[in-house]
Amino acid sequence: MNTITAPDVGTSGNKPRKTGMARLWELALRKKLLVITSCTLSVFSVAISFSPFIAIYSLIRELVTHSADLSGLDPVFMTKLGWLACGGAATAILLNFVALMCSHIAAFTTIYQLKLDFTRHVAALPLGFHSENSTGKLRKIVDDNIEKLEGFIAHQLPDLVGSIAMPVCTLAVLFLFDWRLGLASFIPIILSYLLQMTAFGAKNAQTFLNKYQDSLEEMNNAAVEYVRGIPVIKAFNQTIYSFRRFHQTIKTYGTFCLNYTMEFETYMEVFLLIINHVYLFLIPVIIVLSGGVSDYGTFALASCFYLVFSLSLATPFIKLLYVAQNGRMILNGIERMDTVLNTPPLLETAAPQTVSEYSVCFDRVSFTYHDQKEIAAVQDVSFSARQGAITALVGPSGSGKSTLAHLIPRFYEVSAGAVRIGGVDIRDMSSEYLLSIVSFVFQDVFLFKQTVADNILIGDRHAGRAAAVEAAQAAQCHEFIMRLPDGYDTVIGTKNVHLSGGERQRLVIARAILKNAPIIVLDEATAFADPENERNIQKAFETLMKNKTVLIIAHRLSTVRGADKIVVLDKGRLVEEGTHNALVKAGGRYSRMWDHYSAGQNWSISRKEAPDSPVKPA
């Protein structure tokens, strides 16, 4: 086999990915210039926002000083102070606006790129990954975890820088007029921060956060499952209470939220109490100091300034607290995203090969699912499926038929042995090429909420409308498509557009016909599930299967009688292979299955023969 290389799975190539704060900064600084500009402007905005306070204070001081004789006021200086107050406020607002604009552009371009990288990576992962990781979990990563980064870059990062600049400027301003009152205002701030550090620095804060995220993820999964299961509930007339898991996950989530809140409630209340009421610390200091002052007017003015200014202290410090709390949540979300990004996609060969002959050969293939280590789903299976022939896989439920079929397009990687197409190991082909030569007609018919034509063109993006119509005609869908409100331009899933099960199946077959891959793997349930459309579907399949290597996962023996080869599986092992007649003659496993099947058929025929005589229970 050729050298295998792993494609780059993220931003850091083959180097180990950064973790924690380093990773957060790496992601936040993807648009470095914009982010740095935003942070710098934010700092300037904060610094300038103090100028109105200082200007107004100076204005009042001038007025108080010259209160006895107002003619002593310097009008030019007073006007300058007025302009400083207005101009300072306007500049601070403008700078903040530009800072937020830069941070928003940086945030949206970063998360757009990140979402693209993530979805591309998820799409490149083998199907096995998807069966082990729920849609709910992946949806939460894309919608919530990555989205949170937008808030961090757009708002919290400038807030963080601003909130760090704010205390520094506050400190400078507070100590500018009277250091004793400045100190009295600053002590409560230090106190409240020590309190927060004690609460959130505690070990159990991280444990809480992990459990909180887990329960949120669980609830998401259960919600997706619940919505998907609604048809089943209706079909079986079950009440909503049958969805115990969903109910349970909501309860667990509720309990965690409550515990989380209770755990930090006291800390938070004391923090808010202190930070919102700094004046309570100031007043006693003012009273004590007022006894020994000589210039009572100036001291009263300074005291008023500190009391008013202390009221505005809370906002930046509360912001800083939320940045710290959210930072933890974001870090946890990024960690979960990175777990997915660290999952290696399918290994790609360095020297991909192509083939001109398309027989499929299983050579001593074994496969074990990730979560079923003790039992192999497929064990030491060898057989070949000839080009231009139909090979049917039969066996009891759970015997490994679907697993074997999934190994052909490398939805899973074999644990031992090899799958070969035209003599070439499928691992020596590029996955893109492999997928282009195999058509998989799944049991679950999935149609996108796009036009009928687009749904067919998924088979071959480059084929034109004419080719799509031709494929639809071959798949016996043209007539019903033309009856739809907008023909081929009808969007599936919109109001008044209802397709029957058989019609949906034929659309999927049209897709496969358009793809025209030389190897077809199909589930018999897809082919014969709808008796009303059976003749049409049969016709569609005849077109699809012409001169191809066809593997059918068979559930009903009647449909495989005409197969060129029947492969009989049991408990993951190949027990017999041959044509129907040869296998019946051999009197082995297949022959017994056929006897059972025929007996079942005869029983149903005898019931049909006597429709008026209901079978009474014995």
What is the C-alpha separation between 29 and 110, in angstroms, rounded?
Answer: 9
Answer whether 107's CB lies under 8 Å from 154's CB.
Answer: yes
By CB under 6 A, name the one of 7, 254, 284, 398 that touches ligand ADP: 398
By CB under 6 A, name the one of 38, 51, 249, 403 that touches ligand ADP: 403
Q: Residues with Cβ < 8 Å from 3, sequence gap 6 or more?
A: 349, 350, 351
Which listed range, 12-20, 394-402, 425-433, 483-491, lies at the site for ligand ADP (CB under 6 A)? 394-402
Binding footprint of ligand ADP, residue count (CB under 6 A): 13
Closer by beta carbon to ligand ADP, 31 or else 565: 565
395 binds ligand ADP (CB under 6 A): yes
Q: Which amino acid makes up residue 156? A: Q
φ, ψ of residue 473 in degrees (nearest 5)? -65, -45
CB 156 → ligand ADP: shortest distance, Å? Answer: 40
Closer by beta carbon to ligand ADP, 305 or else 440: 440
CB 153 → ligand ADP: shortest distance, Å? Answer: 38
- Residue list 155-194, contact with ligand ADP (CB under 6 A): none
CB 133 → ligand ADP: shortest distance, Å? Answer: 11
- Residue list 228-287, contact with ligand ADP (CB under 6 A): none
Residue whose pair of structure tokens reads 């007609």 in the numeric block: 441
CA angle 403, 404, 408 (to 5 degrees): 110
By CB under 6 A, name the one of 110, 163, 359, 399 that touches ligand ADP: 399
Q: Residues with Cβ < 8 Å from 150, sequence gap 6 or more?
A: 107, 108, 110, 111
Closer by beta carbon to ligand ADP, 115 or else 573: 573
Going from the C-alpha of 398 to that of each of 34, 112, 404, 416, 555, the distances in angstroms are 56, 42, 11, 20, 11
397 binds ligand ADP (CB under 6 A): yes
User: What is residue 142's DSSP assignment?
Assistant: I
Closer by beta carbon to ligand ADP, 295 or else 371: 371
Provide the token pair at 524: 């018999």
400 binds ligand ADP (CB under 6 A): yes
What is the C-alpha separation between 24 and 426, in angstroms, rounded?
Answer: 39
Walk across the sheet containing 416-421 and list its strands: 378-385, 360-367, 416-421, 424-425
134 binds ligand ADP (CB under 6 A): no
Q: Residues with Cβ < 8 Å from 485, sequence gap 6 or more?
A: 496, 497
Closer by beta carbon to ligand ADP, 377 or else 545: 377
CB 197 → ligand ADP: shortest distance, Å? Answer: 46
How far is CA 231 from its chain centroid?
Answer: 25
Answer whether 219's CB lies under 8 Å from 226's CB.
Answer: no
User: What is residue 12's DSSP assignment?
Assistant: T
By CB under 6 A, name the one of 402, 431, 439, 455 that touches ligand ADP: 402
- Residue list 334-373, contact with ligand ADP (CB under 6 A): 369, 371-372
Closer by beta carbon to ligand ADP, 180 or else 370: 370
CB 131 → ligand ADP: shortest distance, Å? Answer: 4
SS3 191: helix
CB 554 → ligand ADP: shortest distance, Å? Answer: 10
52 binds ligand ADP (CB under 6 A): no
What number of residues does the chain have? 618
SS3 379: strand
Q: Sketch the per residue contact string, 366 through 385, with ligand ADP: x for CB under 6 A, - otherwise.
A: ---x-xx----x--------
| Chain residues that interact with ligand ADP, rule: CB under 6 A | 131, 369, 371-372, 377, 395, 397-403
